[in-house]
Amino acid sequence: MTIAQPAVPVDLAQPGPVSLILRYLRRNKSLAIGLAILFVLIAFTLIGMLLVDPKGAYPLAAATKKPPSLKYPFGTDFFGRNLLVAMVVGMWQTALIGLIAGGLGTLIGVVLGFVSAYFGGWIDTIIKGVCQILTPIPVLLIQVVVAGSLDKRDVTILTMALIVVMLAWMGPTLVVRSQVLTMKERQFVSVAKLSGVSDLGIIFKEILPNLLPFIAAAFVGQVFAAVFASFYLAVLGLGPLREPLLGNIIWSAQGQGAFFNGWWWWPIAPSIAMILILGSLALINMGLDELANPRVRRTE
């Protein structure tokens, strides 16, 4: 079979990287929308952190129970937090938890997954076994036990992140492990091995670069999971109670019967903020999956 020559001479000029990325985003809609929402949220938080006084996010900073107005766009709550400021600080803290826990979880997962798959043997058996045994246990509930055992003063943004990461490294470990296992058998690895490249050289120069899309997807997935888990803990009243973490605000609104008393704006602002955060992360995750796994790319 002969390959048909294009009738019109094709412009062979390479498009720049920015336009390539834009072109890709036009095809991968969920990635584009997710990134757009995330960008707006980051802008809101960063600009907010520059403009507002974080003190407004803590109790007794404003008049209590004021509905949304020009002075307080999101209203104020029963304890006198300015909810606009609380949103800014709360999102900042949520981002901190997500990045710390997501980063640590991914790092542990990548290291363990690599070690497990590349060296095999009893190390692999142990790591895989521990992952498999811990997987059916509902992670949130164990996190409830950990958070509940802590002294209330010890529950901070950092400890929240550590609690979340403690039981959330199994997912990335298994993903990286299975990817390394298949990649190990590819020809470019055998070639490298035959040409005398060391173990570390193969890991860092041959396998790791090929794994980057999977690691990126695992990272976003971990950030999502960490934000989700810390949110659930806070909604159950196990968060750092003084901090204006979004889940905490919903928890205290529910505890004070916000809807029964007609203070509807109190739980609404943090709920919408959380929906936007989780929604954008979920969309980005879906988009990255499509990038990393050509098999699930849509056939349209």
Partner 1 sequence: MSLKLVIRRLLFLILVIWSASTITFFIPRLSPRNAIRERFAELARSGGFSPGDLEKIIASYSQQFGLDKPLLQQYWDFLGSVLRLDFGYSLNKYPSTMLDLIMQSIPWTLTLLIVTTILSFLIGNLLGAIAAWPRAPRWARMVATPFVLLMGVPPVLMGVLLLFFLGFRLQWFPLGGAYSIGVVPNWSWGFAFDVLRHQVLPALALILGSVGGWVLSMRGMGVTIQGEDYVNFAEHKGLGGITIFRDYYLRNALLPQVTGFALALGTVVTSAIVVEGTFGLPGIGTTLNNAIRANDFPVIYGIVLFITIAVATLMVLMEFIYPLLDPRIRQN
Is the CB of residue 36 less than 8 Å from the CB of residue 25?
no
CA distances (Å), origin 15, targets 7, 10, 11, 32, 71: 21, 13, 10, 19, 48
Spatial separation of the C-alpha atoms in residues 300 and 287, rounded to whole Å: 15
Is the CB of residue 283 less than 8 Å from the CB of residue 34?
yes
Q: Show the binding pattern over residues 97-136: x = contacts partner 1 (CB under 8 A), - = does not.
A: -----------------------------------xxx-x
Nearer to partner 1 by Cβ, of 43 and 296: the residue is 296
* Shortest reach from residue 251's CB to partner 1, in Å: 9
**294 counts as binding partner 1 under rule CB under 8 A:** no
Beta bridge partners of 76: 82
**39 counts as binding partner 1 under rule CB under 8 A:** no
**189 counts as binding partner 1 under rule CB under 8 A:** no
Is the CB of residue 146 less than 8 Å from the CB of residue 163?
yes
Structure tokens at 221: 């997935």
- Among positions 238, 245, 288, 292, the unique one binding partner 1 when judged by CB under 8 A: 238
Residues 245-264 that bind partner 1 (CB under 8 A): 250, 254-255, 259-260, 264
* Shortest reach from residue 121's CB to partner 1, in Å: 21
Residues 77-96 that bind partner 1 (CB under 8 A): none
* Shortest reach from residue 149's CB to partner 1, in Å: 4
* Alpha helices (H) along 53-194: 83-119, 121-134, 139-149, 157-166, 170-184, 187-194
Size of the chain in residues: 300
**139 counts as binding partner 1 under rule CB under 8 A:** yes
- Among positions 110, 128, 231, 252, the unique one binding partner 1 when judged by CB under 8 A: 231
Residue 264 CA from chain centroid, whole number: 29
**75 counts as binding partner 1 under rule CB under 8 A:** no
Nearer to partner 1 by Cβ, of 210 and 254: the residue is 254
The answer to whether the Cα torsion of 257, 260, 261, 262 is positive or negative is positive
Spatial separation of the C-alpha atoms in residues 286 and 299, rounded to whole Å: 15
**228 counts as binding partner 1 under rule CB under 8 A:** yes
Residues 147-166 that bind partner 1 (CB under 8 A): 148-151
Q: What is the DSSP letter of 205?
A: I
Residues 267-286 that bind partner 1 (CB under 8 A): 267-268, 271, 274-275, 278-279, 281-283
Spatial separation of the C-alpha atoms in residues 2 and 248, rounded to whole Å: 66
Nearer to partner 1 by Cβ, of 192 and 278: the residue is 278
**3 counts as binding partner 1 under rule CB under 8 A:** no
Nearer to partner 1 by Cβ, of 79 and 231: the residue is 231
Spatial separation of the C-alpha atoms in residues 2 and 15, rounded to whole Å: 28
Residue numbers at the binding site for partner 1 (CB under 8 A) = 132-134, 136-142, 144-146, 148-151, 228, 231-232, 235-238, 250, 254-255, 259-260, 264, 267-268, 271, 274-275, 278-279, 281-283, 296, 299
